[in-house]
Structure 1
């Protein structure tokens, strides 16, 4: 009797930042990887900090509700030479953790070297190489025409969206490295998960 097919797994990758927060949802069904959606959440430095954090929380929670993930993945290293920037990134991470906890979604962390190793096979891989592998693994088309976003300002374009403050208009966002980094984190988690299953199976 053939073994039952594994249930599809949905993973959200999150690239934290106070000014720009990238989100990407990927579904794994057997060997098939599918991009469910991505979002770039931008907040204005002119807005009060509390309002910016609230906007990040609301957008992250809405993304979680929309995609019902089995796991959320964030970057595990927040060190930066600029202390103020590191503090702001830490605040964005806290907002993401709160949204995940509210919906009982487990959170996993991977460092940049782990992402490069999992997707490219080398810890010295460039960001361009990582982005190339993200596109290849998800079978993504070329970047959509930005004019399409202007014609459909509140529609999903190229399976991605962008939330801008204050008008919160949607448009093409995959060109943002924040979105690419978020998707890379999701794919890294799925890659390590497959590896662990192979090891557990005796390979």
Structure 2
């Protein structure tokens, strides 16, 4: 089972494709960020992001796409860009036939670090541990995307059964 986590953003959109391994440690199959040029016009940036997400979905073929649900951001411009990126990701995932789920930052932190108030450093280190990586994924958007995928694996009854009812 492949889960694609997406930490939406217009300048940096984190992604991580995580494979649930029966009775073993989950594995990262792809992890990174999609970047767009902040100087480019908004429609061009959105089109580029959409094309990159579609290509990523074609390459990874996830069963589920987990997207961060953002409730609050201080900067309205940033909130709008995040919402636009999130909408593109969800629509592309649905079109590709993947199940789309959303988790709040608190749910992700709780599932991965055991504390809904964990900081980015704690989440990054837990992602490194849970996926058996040599180092914490960078930038933080990539680690956050991996945390989203791991959160879904922790919450999904089907994934838990495949993993022997344990944590990923």
| Residues 1:17 and 2:17 are matched in the alignment | no
Post-superposition CA distance 1:117-169 (Å, at most 9, x none) = 111111222211111110001100137xxxxxxxxxxxxxxxxxxxxxxxxxx
Deviation of 1:88 after TM superposition, in Å, equals 1.0
Match of 1:136 among 120, 129, 145: 129
Moved more, 13-22 or 78-87: 78-87
Q: TM-score, normalised by structure 2?
A: 0.89
Structure 2 CA distance for partners of 1:50 and 1:195, relative to 1, 3 Å? same
Structure 2 unmatched ranges of 5 or more? 162-168
Query: Hey, what does 1:72 align to over in structure 2?
Result: 65
| Residues 1:81 and 2:78 are matched in the alignment | no
Q: Aligned Cα RMSD in Å?
A: 1.7
Query: Hey, what does 1:27 align to over in structure 2?
Result: 19
Query: Hey, what does 1:176 align to over in structure 2?
Result: 139
Rounded Cα–Cα distance in structure 1 between residues aligned with 2:33 and 2:93: 18
| Residues 1:54 and 2:47 are matched in the alignment | yes
Post-superposition CA distance 1:56-79 (Å, at most 9, x none) = 111111111111100000111242
Contact 2:32 2:138 in 1 (8 A): no
Match of 2:98 among 105, 108, 116: 105
Contact 1:73 1:185 in 2 (8 A): yes
Query: Hey, what does 2:151 align to over in structure 1?
Result: 188
Higher helix share: 2
Rounded Cα–Cα distance in structure 1 between residues aligned with 2:16 and 2:159: 23
Structure 1 unmatched ranges of 5 or more? 1-8, 144-173, 199-203
**Residue 29 of structure 1 aligns to a residue in which SS?**
coil
Larger Rg computed on CA atoms = 1
